[in-house]
Amino acid sequence: MPTSFEQRLAAQYGNLSVALRQAADFLRANPVEIATRPLRTVSRDSGVSPAAFSRLARALEYDTFDDLREEFRAHLGKRVGNFADRAERLQKDHAEGEGEFFAAQLAASRAGLSELEAKIDRARLGEVADRLAAARRVLLQGALGSTGVVEYLAYMATFHSDTWSLASRMGASLGSSLIGLDARDALIVVTMPPFATRSIKAAQLAHERGVFVVVITDTPSCPALQYAAARFIVPTESPHFYSSYVVTMFLLEALMGMVVARSDSASKTRIAEVEAANKSLSEVWGDT
């Protein structure tokens, strides 16, 4: 939690009204909500009026509630260093004989998976799997560093269903992929800093059309989160010069497995037919 917020709250908590204490308790328990959701949504979820949050901010000597929110964002947000600077650090550490990169990367990956296990809302993940399994269409969007993991998700999905597809694949228009989507459909966006503009815009347009938007990112400051109906913030820290996608890949594989588990027998039939077609077309080696 933001240290200065905790210090201010500790100093003033005994002087706050019941409504302001309720607002403060919600802030402490839901830092990601505060950092990523509009005030009206926070008010609805907490049962506390927007005015109470504004009064709390003033009582804690912030100029506005937005100033309080920015402190949460600054604390929770992942600071992304320049890739070249991080690569230089790797080279410097190697030259000085400081540690072994393989061991450090392995430890970071394990730590990220443990953090995901401890923090993820499994009930919410199940709800998202239910929604995706029931969706008429599921569109997948990832760009820049997130392109590969989203393409892998699409590859898995093609075994299961013909209703999952990549947005703007092979130079196709992103707009053409989004046209026709509505509340019966879903969009999964994977985006990490530096954020791809097209991914943020896709989330916005889909949200405006009533689409169920799922955003997977590594920081509460991600601009796409304001358009998300469901969001998952995953650890990506590692000694590497680039963000690690180990935890993201695990989450996508788990989510795909949960969707297939919730699907009817037609999914199993399709998977068998795809496998048979691959063999018939000699796309796989021998009896693999």
Average pLDDT score, the chain: 84
pLDDT value of residue 176:
79
pLDDT value of residue 84:
60
Average pLDDT score over residue span 86-92:
65
pLDDT value of residue 89:
64
Asked if the model's pLDDT at residue 137 lies above 50, the reply is yes
pLDDT in tens, 39-84: 888 888 889 999 999 999 999 999 999 889 888 877 665 444 455 6
Is the dihedral angle over the CA atoms 100, 101, 102, 108 positive or is it negative? positive
Average pLDDT score over residue span 182-193:
95
Q: What are phi and psi of 206, to 5 degrees?
A: -65, -40
pLDDT in tens, 138-148: 999 998 889 99
CB 259 within 8 A of CB 129: yes
DSSP 158-171: HHH-SSEEETTGGG
Q: Does 163 or 89 have the greater pLDDT score? A: 163
pLDDT in tens, 244-255: 899 999 999 999
Strand, helix or coil for residue 50:
helix
CB atoms within 10 A of CB 203: 26
Please provide the distance, in angstroms rounded to a whole number, between the alpha carbons at the two ends of the chain. Answer: 51
Q: Which of 177, 172, 176 is nearest to 139 (CA)?
A: 177
Run of H or E including 90: helix 83-95
pLDDT value of residue 80:
43
Alpha-carbon distance values, 136 to 74, 176, 241, 275 (Å): 38, 17, 39, 24
pLDDT value of residue 72:
80
Strand, helix or coil for residue 275:
helix
User: What percentage of the chain carries pLDDT values higher than 70?
Assistant: 85
Q: Does 221 or 117 have the greater pLDDT score? A: 117
Asked if the model's pLDDT at residue 134 lies above 90, the reply is yes
Q: Does 271 or 56 have the greater pLDDT score? A: 56
pLDDT value of residue 50:
93
For residue 182, give both structure tokens.
Answer: 């509505």
Per mean pLDDT, which range of 151-160, 208-217, 249-258 is the poorest? Answer: 151-160
Tell me the angle at which helices 18-29 and 39-46 cross, rounded to the nearest 10 degrees. 110
Answering whether pTM is above 0.75, one says no
For residue 119, give both structure tokens.
Answer: 């923090």
pLDDT value of residue 172:
63
pLDDT in tens, 16-36: 999 999 999 888 877 767 877
